[in-house]
Structure 1
Amino acid sequence: MKIYRLHEIQKLPISKEKAWEFLSSPENLKTITPDYMGFDILSGADRPMFAGQIIQYIVTPILGIKTKWVTEITHVKDGEYFVDEQRFGPYALWHHKHFIKEIDGGVEMEDIIDYKVPLGFLGQLVHPILVKPKLTEIFNYRKQKLEALFGTY
């Protein structure tokens, strides 16, 4: 069983409060997801983030295949971090930690995602040519979108 990790850091010239307000609102996930992914929230994003919150989405990650994705917000420390875990969806495991810390002139946002692809050995073969490049593309899009919204550090 191979578990992969994606680790991204981005600095933005905004206050910690503004970063938290944006990132902790589940509705804003659509804003920082590429349009071609057909990201739609079905339920669970109607209130501010809290531990135990279940959010259901429809997403089209590859080949135009619509997939239901259900995540649970498992941990929240206001203004500092939150964790979402996939309960149902395209991955065999998805554990995503979001950290926000104040730095001189802005904030540093850190994403640590531990994930496992489905389909065992076949999934591991596909990972470097399909899954990893797609995740990298999505996070590059997020970086660009956040810079367009808030400026560059």
Structure 2
Amino acid sequence: MLRFEFSSLINAPVEVVWNFHERSDILQKLTPPWQPVEIIRREGGLGVGAISEFRLWIGFIPVRWIARHTECIPYQLFIDQQIEGPMQSWVHRHQFQTENGQTRLTDIIEYELIGSEITESLLHRWVNARLEDMFRYRHRVTQQECEQK
């Protein structure tokens, strides 16, 4: 199992950061413009059973990715898990913690690539670098949106 973690401190209360993630357009806001991703649907907000569906483009090949929320503790965390997609497995934990009146936002992803351990050893650094780019963007947008309030 591979792991990626990205954390930042948002100068806003946890309620503001959580409520930002509840927005109906959150996937559009947090998807980097350079990523070849189409948002197909988002249903159910952040609660357990919520669904997000994407179409990823790997070259000219469309790949369907569906994630379902498996856990939600308001103002603390929500977890989504891939139920269909390009990974062998994918669990994404979104944590919100109060820290000196601010919010520590942490994304933790545990995943397995399709293929063998050799595939993982060859590709995990590349995948983590892409995740680093994406979450750096997501956290910057979150800071810009939430720190204005």
Same fold (TM over 0.5): yes
Of 22, 29, 34, 2:32 maps to 34
| Higher mean displacement: 109-118 or 62-71 | 62-71
TM-score (norm 2): 0.85
CA gap of 1:65–1:122, structure 2 versus 1, over 3 A, is farther
The alignment of Structure 1 onto Structure 2 pairs a total of residues equal to 148
Of 79, 82, 86, 1:86 maps to 82
- Which residue number in structure 2 is paired with residue 57 of structure 1? 54
- Which residue number in structure 2 is paired with residue 110 of structure 1? 106
Q: For 2:48 and 2:138, how far apart are their aligned partners in 1?
A: 24
Q: For 1:14 and 1:21, how far apart are their aligned partners in 2?
A: 11
Of 87, 90, 95, 1:99 maps to 95
Give the secondary-structure state (helix, strand or coil) at the position aligned to 1:133: helix
TM-score (norm 1): 0.83
| Higher mean displacement: 14-23 or 26-35 | 26-35
When the two chains are superposed, the root-mean-square deviation of aligned CA atoms in Å is 2.2
Using the aligned pairs only, state the percent identity. 22
CA gap of 1:129–1:7, structure 2 versus 1, over 3 A, is closer
Give the secondary-structure state (helix, strand or coil) at the position aligned to 1:49: coil
Q: Is the contact between residue 84 and residue 97 of structure 1 (CA under 8 Å) also seen in structure 2? A: yes
CA gap of 1:59–1:70, structure 2 versus 1, over 3 A, is same
1:76 aligns with 2:72: yes
Unpaired segments of 5 or more residues in structure 1?
none
Q: For 2:110 and 2:10, how far apart are their aligned partners in 1?
A: 24
CA gap of 1:87–1:107, structure 2 versus 1, over 3 A, is same
Structure with the higher strand share, 1 or 2 = 2
Of 8, 23, 33, 2:6 maps to 8
Give the secondary-structure state (helix, strand or coil) at the position aligned to 1:132: helix
1:150 aligns with 2:146: yes
Q: For 1:39 and 1:75, how far apart are their aligned partners in 2?
A: 25
